[in-house]
Structure 1
Amino acid sequence: MPSMKTTALALATVTAATCLATAGVASAQGAQAPAKPAVHVPPGYQIVNLPNANVPNFQRRTVLCPGTKHVLGGGGEAQGNGAILVGSFPTPDGRGWIALGRQIGYNDVGISVYAVCAD
């Protein structure tokens, strides 16, 4: 039975080959490649973060968007031997991001928090 990694690699290879073959057919026929979709950056787009800091297990760390900005998304990272990110979610008011974790065998854990903000 192939491993998950082998299956994913095979799928990526087939997908890449299909994309290259399709691009080659379009070029050979003189067709123009489809236009790339426009990237829309919301007004006031900004990523803010709290760098890694050790806190007691399960203690929430919260990063807030500056000024009147609201959070569009975010995430967290638990660092340390056996560290586990337990939660990563927006603040109830939509103005920031919360992350918390734990580290097996220790009383504290390193937690970083990130928020994607916009007006």
Structure 2
Amino acid sequence: MHIPPASFRVTPYGEVDAKALDSLRQNFEIAQLLNVVDQLDACLAEIGGVDNIRDDFLRLHDMAMTLLECSPLTVATSDVDSIWEEAMSLQEDISTLRSCLQAGSELLSSLAALAPD
């Protein structure tokens, strides 16, 4: 009776697909994970960090409340550009962050492929 080899391997970090593991061992550069960390750090430094994006959204919310709902002014006009310039700046920051995260996500797909059938 022929027993086929197991399609998975037991590792200290759970069962993994045996073929995917063999492939990654031959083709995956582990240092890429550290490169993603460096790229993410640089990206976050460029945009002022995640807290900066959060604060920008809150400031835009306050500005929109004043503009669209006629709420009292809560953001000093001397502290900001026009609402559309603030929105465009935030869009640019999000695009920068999205590009960094997309690169990380693509790298992670190789490791996610270790999931056993």
TM-score range, shorter chain: under 0.3
TM-score (norm 2): 0.21
Structure with the greater alpha carbon radius of gyration? 2
TM-score (norm 1): 0.21
